[in-house]
Structure 1
């Protein structure tokens, strides 16, 4: 049995589908069981669980061989942000897995560190440290930004004008990867014992946000220059919005970090991984055909 926490999210649903395709028995741990059941019907077992609370996790993981953590609190409000989900929540999940004798595949984030300016990356880094110290078999997967996520943001902000909103100057090269490629890496890490004890950095295609916006416009037949949110405004919103909307403040802080560039943490890297590599063109072709 493989338990996938966050199995109904953007990454998790692809991991679950791939595991099912390989004939694995899968249990999805989700706070929204109705949504999870709508996604997978009776192909998986769905159980209610909240990683923010230790109670109930032992029952959800009791007979698991591997536990995949695809949870994140990046968009969470007060009490449901990275500190509660990615740090303490992952610690709860790891403890339950260790108690059940199960291994853990932790989906972290590329570039995480203890002093990263964005709380999500600090929390992911803390979860990595906790997992490696608890003694259960582990794999850590560190993906960069998802193409699908940011193409969705740019598409939404373009609206009827066809002019995406770029946060900052948009000239900083950013590693992007398709969520489908990350799902392939996570799936292999879950089922292949040779990956145990590895930190896997998923390589990405370096693209500036301006180029990403332009490629989206070309694919959709949109025209006109992209619009920009100035860096000073991003800085101001990351502070002023924090008391009222922690998630909105976090988004602005993350956008600023991506636009200015954050030093990448050094990490041991696994050997070559035989998974598909989808380019920006591939992802755009898939999204426009859908």
Structure 2
């Protein structure tokens, strides 16, 4: 039952999570306008017709969220909205792209929404911003700060890992290759959440006033799982003995300084250095709530939601492939 204002403007609607958020809003009876690029999806492979099919039930409008004029004229169109939902995220985590999307474009959506009368803003962020070391994290945090100061009612959802983000080795393992992990495979852990469960949680949060003006970390059904346990699970589902390849995380301590130094001479290498920093971060930092008092990640402090399990997800993709789970430029993560 919809108990809040019902006219919703969604940006980032064609992203991995955005599509499911739009469908959940439509399912619950909201009047949804989805704003998308003419060529969207991984590598811009989706046509306008395909985008309309994916976002069926919503009104789909096309334009550029990075361009305020386009957003106002092609998206908002002088109409009134009650809620803005942003599922925007940078395409690859590069320095300029992070600030262009995670900060500037998302801020455009907030400003345009305020002009259209919207009083609520639901933001899809990321749990990793709690310990910022990367440019996209700093860009997200800057927008979060401005959103909290905007005067709007805000809901910031910070999910842990998505199922797709820990599925990158599925095809390799199916073909007989070992599972690649850093160190002993127990350096990090997460409580991954499915796109369907996350979308449901986000819309629940829009409707639950107790979650308004709050930062909401969220994971899927526990317990927390390490990289080694993820690999073991896939081999078990295939009926094979686990086979691992261990990589030294110290390799990043060589790669990062070299690329950073070269980037000062050759600016085009700036993103390469950032991608190496991203790689190290995801191989060394858990996607769980950070306990600042103890200086450690805490699985028990990481809330759980939903019913979709990683085991069932792995079972499905091992049998049917990764269609619909394409990583695109996020494959490096």
Would the TM-score normalized by the shorter structure come out above 0.5? yes
Distance 1:219 1:246 in 2: 40
Offset of residue 191 of structure 1: 3.7
Answer yes or no: is 1:180 the counterpart of 2:196: yes
Query: 2:156 aligns to what?
Result: 140
Q: For 2:125, which of 108, 114, 135 is the aligned residue? A: 108
Query: 1:163 aligns to what?
Result: 178
- Give me the TM-score of the superposition, normalised by structure 1: 0.83
Deviation per CA, 1:42-85: give whole Å up to 9, x if none: x2211123332222223423422111111111516574x21111
- Structure 1 gap segments, 5+ residues each: 267-271
Deviation per CA, 1:117-165: give whole Å up to 9, x if none: 12222221111101011111211101111123212x1224546234233
- CA distance 1:138–1:188, change in 2 (3 Å): same
Q: For 1:67, which of 74, 78, 84 is the aligned residue? A: 84
Distance 1:251 1:261 in 2: 15
Query: 2:295 aligns to what?
Result: none
Distance 1:200 1:78 in 2: 26
Across the aligned residues of Structure 1 and Structure 2, the Cα RMSD in angstroms comes to 3.0
Distance 1:248 1:214 in 2: 31
Q: How many residues align?
A: 281
The 8 Å contact of residues 93 and 135 in structure 2, kept in 1 or not, is answered as: no
Deviation per CA, 1:73-109: give whole Å up to 9, x if none: 1516574x21111012211111111211212101111
Answer yes or no: is 1:48 the counterpart of 2:74: no
- CA distance 1:56–1:260, change in 2 (3 Å): same
Largest Rg, 1 or 2: 2
Answer yes or no: is 1:18 the counterpart of 2:32: no
Query: 2:279 aligns to what?
Result: 255
- CA distance 1:236–1:6, change in 2 (3 Å): farther
Answer yes or no: is 1:129 the counterpart of 2:145: yes
Offset of residue 203 of structure 1: 3.4
- Structure 2 gap segments, 5+ residues each: 1-6, 41-46, 293-301, 321-333
Answer yes or no: is 1:29 the counterpart of 2:43: no
Distance 2:112 2:17 in 1: 22
Offset of residue 273 of structure 1: 8.6
- Give me the TM-score of the superposition, normalised by structure 2: 0.73
Distance 1:226 1:123 in 2: 36
SS of the residue 2:14 aligns to = coil
Query: 2:98 aligns to what?
Result: 82
Distance 2:219 2:11 in 1: 24
Query: 2:251 aligns to what?
Result: 233
The 8 Å contact of residues 95 and 135 in structure 2, kept in 1 or not, is answered as: no
Distance 1:209 1:180 in 2: 23
Answer yes or no: is 1:284 the counterpart of 2:314: yes
